[in-house]
Structure 1
Amino acid sequence: MTRVLGGLAVPTTTFDESERLVWAGRGPAYAGSFAKLCAYPVPWLLDAAGVGPGVRVLDVGTGSGTAAAAACARGATVTAVDAERTMVELARRAAPEADVRLAALPDLPFADAEFDAVVANFVLNHVGRPKDTLAELRRVVRPGGWIALTIWAAPPAAGQRLIGRAIQAAGAVRPPHLPAGLAAEDDFHRDESGLTGLLEAGHLREAECGTLRWDHRASPEEWWSGPAGGVAFGGQLVRSQTPHVQAEIKRHFDALSIEFASEDGLLSLPHAALLARARH
């Protein structure tokens, strides 16, 4: 399958197509599990992009619409897109003042230089060709406008590893429909220098990147509801296992969760994300 980028036909990768399948219909499960986690960087993301009153901002990969709603609350003129229909439905409810559309990277249905700023919260993790994605974001933002984005840092923080540790301890096997990762020529180091270098390679100016660290608070039931609901790669991996292996994953999850338990019964899960921005 191909999509059009800047007038050129760009083939989508196996990773892209797998991501579409992984997230299909997962909006409600995401909203009830990981959406709160992913909302944490939103204020800093909007600050980095200079989002304020009257700013024409595009929220790419809006998910449940948290960033779009926050941008509307700042008085911005907001357009938001997501590749998954159930996410679009959630975002329209969360941000009724925004223009929310169904659209997939790397071809966005907008004119050149249509926006003053673009934000992408945990989106670059989900595309097969990050360089093509940045080229498209650069195309739709005006000269001098900011692009701000977040990705998960590597190596992942302890809280982010919890579910993966349970999966590994149970001996789960990755099914063939889940991608192993990006092609070597498309990947980049998920650290501050690697993300800054990717932005600079995309002909963006004044690139800068920092690391956000926080403890995400969630009940064990809430945190387990993500993989149990098939959310993201880990959830699809869990749901592809036999009932016995799924039960073993849950058993290991319960045991490992004790490391993060607080006196109030919630888990305190350390996470780390990269927040970067650059100017067209």
Structure 2
Amino acid sequence: MGERRAWAGRAAAYEAGFGRLCAHTVPLLLDAAGVRSGTELLDAGCGTGAVTLAALARGARVTAVDAESDMVRRTEAVAGSAGGAEVHRAALPRLPFPDGAFDAAAGNFVLNHVGRPRAALAELSRVVRPGGRIALTVWAVPAAPGQALLGRAVAAAGVARPAGLPALAPEDDFPRDVPGLAGLLRGAGLTGVACRPVTWNHRATPEEWWRGPAAGVAAIGQTVISQGPEVTDRIARHFRRLAASFTGPDGQLVLPHRALLALGVVPG
């Protein structure tokens, strides 16, 4: 069971749930990358196109890549309605572009989904011109309470992460805190490195927040569905119980999340 299985054919389910969550950091990411009218931007790990769409709105010329065909098709659809972008099926750390092809690269949570983060950074550095910016987000560790909700429900149900789900080798991993992410960028040879936390409250109904995992989206979703419908229902019951403490008077969940935003400049 590989990383791509967790995403294959699930673009719509991702977009309605986790996609809305991840969209929060997009404006900050584009600001860090210096994206403006005329910028040649690489959207690495484009997902359902939130970064691509926002960059096109700024007048950038966007090339987007994702490893999963369903995500590529969705980004092509949203980009086509906003003037168009080049969208390719490709995965870090091997991209089909020449050296220095882009003014900047943006990866919204893409480092959470690559097997070799250092090799991925080296490849982004290769395809961005000297003096160009690379801006990235990752989820922070320890997780914020809202981010940990689904994992707590899985643990309360006594369900373990499936053995077949990919995990980084210790030598490829890095601390998911400000010093750790900044150190990863510096280790890749990037200059002018800056990193900071980003916190926000994500709002969704319990049904919206549960729909993605129940459809098998991401590693948490693969864990939820890994042992069949009866176990999935047991996790759902724990989710509803634990979600009560995050539920506001309007019935919506208010879920605190925390990510890290980092910037590095390709030396030249």
Same fold (TM over 0.5): yes
Note if 1:128 corresponds to 2:115.
yes
Aligned-pair distance for 1:273?
0.3
Aligned match of 1:5:
none
Moved over 4 A (4+): none
Note if 1:48 corresponds to 2:37.
no
Aligned match of 1:39:
23
Q: Provide the C-alpha distance between the structure 2 equivalents of 1:176 and 1:161, rounded to a whole number of angstroms.
A: 20
Note if 1:21 corresponds to 2:5.
yes
Aligned match of 1:242:
228
User: Is 2:47–2:71's contact at 8 Å kept on the other side of the alignment?
Assistant: yes
Equivalent residue of 2:3, what SS?
A: helix
One-letter amino acid of the counterpart of residue 279, structure 1: V
Note if 1:108 corresponds to 2:95.
yes
One-letter amino acid of the counterpart of residue 253, structure 2: L
Matched ranges for 1:1-280 at <5 A: 18-96=2-80, 97-179=84-166, 181-280=167-266
One-letter amino acid of the counterpart of residue 231, structure 1: V
Aligned-pair distance for 1:93?
1.3
CA deviation map 1:80-108 (0-9, x unaligned): 01000100111111112111111111100
User: Is 1:173–1:241's contact at 8 Å kept on the other side of the alignment?
Assistant: no
Equivalent residue of 1:250, what SS?
A: helix
User: Is 1:227–1:238's contact at 8 Å kept on the other side of the alignment?
Assistant: yes
Query: What is the root-mean-square deviation of aligned Cα atoms in Å?
Result: 0.9
CA deviation map 1:217-264 (0-9, x unaligned): 001000000100100001001111233221110000000000100111
Identity between Structure 1 and Structure 2 (%): 57
CA deviation map 1:2-29 (0-9, x unaligned): xxxxxxxxxxxxxxx7112221112111
One-letter amino acid of the counterpart of residue 10, structure 2: R
The more displaced of 92-101 and 140-149 is: 92-101
Q: Provide the C-alpha distance between the structure 1 equivalents of 2:96 and 2:79, rounded to a whole number of angstroms.
A: 20
Equivalent residue of 2:2, what SS?
A: helix
User: Is 2:122–2:188's contact at 8 Å kept on the other side of the alignment?
Assistant: yes
Q: Provide the C-alpha distance between the structure 2 equivalents of 1:231 and 1:20, rounded to a whole number of angstroms.
A: 10
CA deviation map 1:58-85 (0-9, x unaligned): 0000000000000000000111010001
Gaps of at least 5 residues in structure 2 are: none
CA deviation map 1:140-187 (0-9, x unaligned): 0000000000000000000011000000000113322213x2111101
User: Is 2:225–2:231's contact at 8 Å kept on the other side of the alignment?
Assistant: no
Equivalent residue of 1:95, what SS?
A: helix
- TM-score, normalization: structure 2? 0.96
Q: Provide the C-alpha distance between the structure 1 equivalents of 2:196 and 2:19, rounded to a whole number of angstroms.
A: 22
- TM-score, normalization: structure 1? 0.92
